[in-house]
Amino acid sequence: MPELPEVETLRRALLPLVKNNVCSEIKFFRKDLRFPIPQALLNEGLLNKKVSDITRKGKYLLLHTPKGAMLLHLGMSGRVVLQATIEPQEKHTHVIFKFAQKSYLHFIDPRRFGSISWVPESGKHPLIDNLGCDPFSPDMTAKAMKILARKSRAPMKSFIMNAQKITGVGNIYACESLYHARIRPQKQAGKITLVQWEKWIECLRDVLNNSIA
């Protein structure tokens, strides 16, 4: 499953190709992935619109236009592949986006656990509305985490992997960051000190940054 570093790597790779470019064509090859693909909303909000930015929230990518944002999740096996032409198409290619001459983004997902959704201008969408703080957000401070966990009896590992608390921390990064911060995974999150939270946030960001290509 693609984790936060892989999604951030994809975001950075797409930025120079997509940002400030117009999506001039969308080809749909199926109606649904994990959820129905909102073809009408994508045609209205993305087609012939300039992408102003690409951001990430946890493991979700958002391609922003004046009408809202396309919300992309890779699921278990999703990939975005840049090709110079619409052909050839790999097996399990479900959607193709054209952004410039010789610039086609192929969304490929064999297991179809990924999703392509549309976020309106309000920025509200049920897939991301309840997500917690992103590990690279300036809002993720030791003080904020200590307040968030103050009444929690959950083991620290379970707490930091809860996407409603902190978004995008998978098992391997939870284990590595706790190991480097010298915090037992079983220790109650509510008993973590401010100093320990500071150390863990530092270690988590180091581990994630080291995994971003």
**Enzyme catalytic residues:** 2-3
**Of 73, 22, 81, the residue nearest 52 (C-alpha):** 22
* Cβ neighbourhood burial of 102 (10 Å; 0-12, 13-18, 19+): exposed
**Of 136, 137, 175, the residue nearest 156 (C-alpha):** 175
Token representation of residue 125: 């969408």
Which H or E run contains 98?
strand 93-100
Q: Report whether 159 contacts 165 (CB < 8 A).
A: yes
Cis preceding linkage at 126, omega within 30:
no
DSSP 145: H
Instruction: Count the Cβ atoms, other than its own, within 10 Å of residue 60.
Output: 23
